Each structure stands twice: as structure tokens, then as C-alpha cells.
Amino acid sequence: MKNKVTILIIASIATLIALSAIQGYLIENAYQLKKKSFIQETDDAISDIDNHPELDSIVDVIGEDLRTNLGDYKNNRISKAEVIRKLRIKGDSVNQSYMERYTKELNAINLGYKIRYKRQLTSIIVYNGQEYDTIFPSAKKQSLTILGENFEDENSHVVKSARTFTEFDFITQERDSVFTTTLDVELKTKDVILIMDWKSIVFRRMASLLIISVLLLLFVVGLLYYSIKNLINQKKITEIKTDFINNITHELKTPLATLSVASKSLKNTEIRNSTEAFDNTLNIVDRQNTRLQKLIDQVLTNSLSAKDIILSKDAVVDNDYFNDLIADFKLSTQQRELSIINKVCPEEVLLRIDTFHFTTALLNILENAVKYGNDQTEITIETSLKSNEYYITISDNGQGIAAQDQSQIFDKFYRVSHGNVHDVKGLGLGLYYTSQIVNAHQGKITVQSELKEGTTFIITIPIN
Ligand code: ADP
């Protein structure tokens, strides 16, 4: 049974982990899709901005300047690096008006979030028939920002890549003659944008999906936890019931066996003829009968909970009450080596208790001290009055109760197990009954114990 429960728990947890992993994978996929569609949506929205005639004319100014510089380069007046430097300077000079216009157009489409934009040059190649001359990129730099804002490439993406061919006339002068050669220039550019806060925008768009997933997962975890807890409880109840049946069978067997022997004895003429033997046997029958009655009463009384118990309270003086209780208990126990130290508080306190139930409750504790005590049992009963609380402390020097059992000894049918050995008789109902009676008196009961040292029960009841 225990193995089955463990396997079930492991299988459930493994399934839960697998389900969570699949859920995580699906969410990651959904996230990628949302991100893609969000980026696409942004790209579509801004695709027409740079076709604006005003922006085009600014770009044309840069192109014109570049062609002049390329002519100078071909005439060996300037180097490739100088062409790029001049291109950058030209870009810088027109950038402000370009960006003002760009921002105006961007505001007009009202995206609802901020973006940063840059246009980068990726290559300039000059063709002369079959020959070509790469002006850019140089070995050092792969791209150069000519227009827009300067930002890191991380998290940005290319909205548009463009490749344009333009012809330009290149004039050379040799001695008195002037030659005009037409060259082709190929320009490659890319438009890059960075969407600010794109992560939080995508997450916001996925919020309902994320919330539902988390709630579902929590629900499944809760359901699993509840089912496993129920299963363990059921298992515990089954064990407790089996224990109880074993205990009660054991408890009933002894008086029944004694009764059977006694009834056989009563048939014996020798016993019948001796008045003493006859009375003795009848006393045994009587005692066993009382014991059986007590057992049945114990089971019946314990089927009631604290709120079902109807108390009939009397006013008793604590000293008298405890003195009588101790005297009666001493008489009823057969253990010879028993000493009871009476430390009942000297001042007289009037207690309002149901004497029958309360006495039975205290007797259960005292009987346990003897049952689970050693050969020389010493019990101390101490009482005190602190503000409106009356404290009854009953300590013994017995075998003690392990820490893990202490919280359970007040549970119905709970008995501390010593393997499978039940050397001490009991049904596990005594302390349950005691706690129910203390609760019915609006009181509290706690236990402090150390194995092999002893046990102390502390009962507090309110004094009005
Ligand atoms: P029962 O005595 O019938 O088993 P109880 O409800 O009276 O049932 O006690 C529950 C368990 O608590 C007992 O089985 C015993 O192991 C433990 N116990 C109770 N009182 C003491 C004590 N004074 N010393 C050691 N163990 C105790």
C-alpha cells in the first residue's frame, strides 16, 4: 500500500513536470509568434514613411554629394576613406531635418509605442564595365550609420534593405583634352529600427494566455495536492481502523476468556460446594462484566465530539476535589510502587466542572502514567492559578513520548506504535476523550515529553 502511494505520488509529480514542460514549450512558441507578428505589424505600419518626398529629397542631396566625391576619388584627388568621411559629414549635416520630418510622419501613424530608427550603409561599389572597385565596406567596418539615431544593434531589426544603381559622369583631363566616362555606382543600405519596450508590449499582449496558463497549472497542482493528501488521509484512517479492530478484539478477548473459564468453574460441583470459591468466581464474573461494560461505554462515549457532550457543572473546591481524586486513584490502582506528589495550590479555588466527565478525563492521564510508567512510578499533580486560568499539571517519570507522536496522541484511536507489539492494553481513546472534555470546559490541553525521561500534561481551564 505504502509503495503504491509512493509510486502514485512520483508518477503524478512526473506527469505534472512533463505537463509544465509542454506548457512552457507552447508558451515559448506562442511568445515567438506574438513577437513575430508584432514586429511585422510595426514594419507594415512604418513601411511607407521613408517614401515621403521630403525625405527622398534629403537623401538625394547626400547621393549627389557622394557622386561628386566618387569623381574626386577616381581623379585620385581623395582616398576611399575620405569619400566615406565626407559622406558621414554630409549625413550629419542633414540628419536633424531628416529626423524631424521622420518623427512627424511617425507621430502621424500613431503607433502607440516608441521606436528608434537609423539608415545604414552596407556597401558602395563602383562599376566600370566588367571591372569594379569596392569603396565600402572596408576591412574594419561592416556598416556605417548615415542617417537617424545611433543605437546598439542588440534587439533591433532590419525593416528594409535597399540596393540602388546610379550612373554618374566622371570627367578626366589629360593635357588639353577632357574625357567623360560614365560609371555605375551600386549602393546598398538597410533601415534598422529598435522598438522600445517591445518585451513588455509582447508580454502584455500575452497576459491573458499567461494568466490562464498559470491559473490552470496552479489548479492542477492544487488538485493533485488535495488528491494525494486525501489518499494519505484515507490510508491513515484505514490503518487506524485496522489498529482499532485489533485492539478492541484484544481487549474483548481477555474478559471473555476469563468469563468462559469462570462459567466452566461454576459448573464444577467442588466450587459450588465451597461458598468462598463460589463467591470468588462470582466476583470474577462481576469484575469482567464491569470491564466489558466499561469498554463498550468508552467506545460509545467517544463517538461523541466536544460539542455533543452535555456537561452538568458543579462548583467544587479544588483542594478537596484533588485530594479525593488522588485517594480514589491510589485505591483503584494495583501498582504498589506508586507515589503521587500532591502539589495542589494552597489557596482554595472554586472550580466549575462536570465532576463525572472531568474526573474520568484526569483519571485517563493518571492511568496512562501508570500504564506507560516504569516499576517505580512517580506522579506529580500540581495546580496553580494565574490571572483567570487554572493550571493542572500532571507529570510522570515514565517512558515518555517521541516528539513526532506528541501532536497525534489526542487523535481518536491513535496509539504510539512500538513496532507491531502492543504490550500495553488500550484503544487509543483515553487522551482523545480527555481532550474533548477539556475542550468542552473551554480549556486547553498540551503535552511536553522527553523519551525515557517522562511526560507532563498541562490542562488550563478558565475560572469565571
Ligand atoms: P491508550 O492508552 O488506550 O493507547 P490514549 O489515548 O490514552 O490511548 O494514549 C494514546 C497514546 O499516548 C498511548 O498509546 C501511549 O503510547 C501514549 N501515552 C499516553 N500517555 C502517556 C504517558 N504518560 N507516557 C508515555 N506515553 C503515553
What's the pLDDT tens digit per position in 15-35? 999 999 999 999 999 999 999
Paired with 389 in beta bridges are 386, 462
Average pLDDT, the chain: 88
- Per the domain annotation, does 269 fall within a domain? no
Give yes or no: residues 189 and 313 share one domain: no
Does residue 410 line the site of ligand 1, with CB under 6 A?
A: no
Does 340 have pLDDT greater than 60? yes
> What confidence tier does 141 reach under pLDDT thresholds 50, 70, 90?
low
Does residue 455 line the site of ligand 1, with CB under 6 A?
A: yes
Q: In sequence order, which ranges of 269-354 are alpha helices (DSSP H)?
A: 269-273, 275-301, 318-332
Does residue 445 line the site of ligand 1, with CB under 6 A?
A: no
Cβ atoms within 10 Å of 56's Cβ, excluding its own:
10
- Mean pLDDT in residue range 387-411: 94
- Closest atom of ligand 1 relative to the 454 alpha carbon: 24
- Per the domain annotation, does 358 fall within a domain? yes
Q: Half-sphere exposure (CA, 13 Å, Cβ side) for 449?
A: 24
> Do residues 410 and 430 make contact, with C-beta atoms less than 8 angstroms apart?
no
- Per the domain annotation, does 40 fall within a domain? no
- Per the domain annotation, does 126 fall within a domain? yes
Give yes or no: residues 339 and 452 share one domain: yes
Among the candidates 205, 233, 252, a domain finishes at 205
Q: Distance between CA 208 and CA 250 in Å, rounded?
A: 62
* Tens-digit pLDDT profile for residues 165-214: 988 887 877 777 888 888 899 999 999 999 999 999 999 999 999 999 99
Which H or E element spans position 134? strand 131-136
- Per the domain annotation, does 19 fall within a domain? no
Does residue 372 line the site of ligand 1, with CB under 6 A?
A: yes
Does 419 have pLDDT greater than 60? no
Among the candidates 171, 205, 239, a domain finishes at 205
pLDDT at 297: 80
Does residue 416 line the site of ligand 1, with CB under 6 A?
A: yes
Give yes or no: residues 310 and 454 share one domain: yes
- Per the domain annotation, does 238 fall within a domain? no
Ligand 1 midpoint to CA 457 (Å): 11
Does residue 447 line the site of ligand 1, with CB under 6 A?
A: no
* Tens-digit pLDDT profile for residues 371-387: 999 888 999 999 999 98
Give yes or no: residues 51 and 195 share one domain: yes
Give the three cell numbers for residue 83.
Answer: 569619400
Does 425 have pLDDT greater than 80? no
* Tens-digit pLDDT profile for residues 63-97: 999 998 998 898 888 999 999 999 999 999 999 99
> What confidence tier does 306 reach under pLDDT thresholds 50, 70, 90?
low
Give yes or no: residues 317 and 198 share one domain: no
Q: Determine the structural domain holding residue 360 and report its residue range.
A: 306-462
pLDDT at 401: 95
Ligand 1 midpoint to CA 21 (Å): 48
pLDDT at 258: 86
Does 138 or 38 have the greater pLDDT score?
A: 38
* Tens-digit pLDDT profile for residues 439-462: 999 999 999 999 999 999 999 999
Does 256 have pLDDT greater than 80? yes
**CB burial class (10 A; 0-12, 13-18, 19+) of residue 303?**
exposed
Does residue 71 line the site of ligand 1, with CB under 6 A?
A: no
pLDDT at 292: 87
Give yes or no: residues 315 and 171 share one domain: no
**What residue's CA is closest to ligand 1, atom 19?**
368
- Per the domain annotation, does 313 fall within a domain? yes
Output the domain CATH number for residue 437: 3.30.565.10
Does 335 have pLDDT greater than 80? no
Give yes or no: residues 188 and 336 share one domain: no
Dihedral angle at the C-alpha atoms of 348, 352, 358, 359, nearest 10 degrees? 40
pLDDT at 140: 64
Cis status of the peptide bond prior to 137, with omega within 30 of 0: yes
**What residue's CA is closest to ligand 1, atom 8?**
428
Give yes or no: residues 323 and 455 share one domain: yes
Q: Distance between CA 363 and CA 56 in Å, rounded?
A: 103
Does 139 have pLDDT greater than 70? no
pLDDT at 170: 78
Among the candidates 205, 231, 251, a domain finishes at 205
Does residue 413 line the site of ligand 1, with CB under 6 A?
A: no
Does 100 have pLDDT greater than 90? yes
DSSP codes, 233-282: HHHHHHHHHHHHHHHHHHHHHHHHHHHHHHHHHHH-HHHHH-HHHHHHHH
Ligand 1 midpoint to CA 426 (Å): 8
Does 422 have pLDDT greater than 70? no
Does residue 401 line the site of ligand 1, with CB under 6 A?
A: yes
Dihedral angle at the C-alpha atoms of 172, 173, 174, 177, nearest 10 degrees? 110
Does 106 have pLDDT greater than 60? yes
> What confidence tier does 336 reach under pLDDT thresholds 50, 70, 90?
low
- Per the domain annotation, does 224 fall within a domain? no
Does 365 have pLDDT greater than 70? yes
Domain count within the chain: 2
Give yes or no: residues 187 and 334 share one domain: no
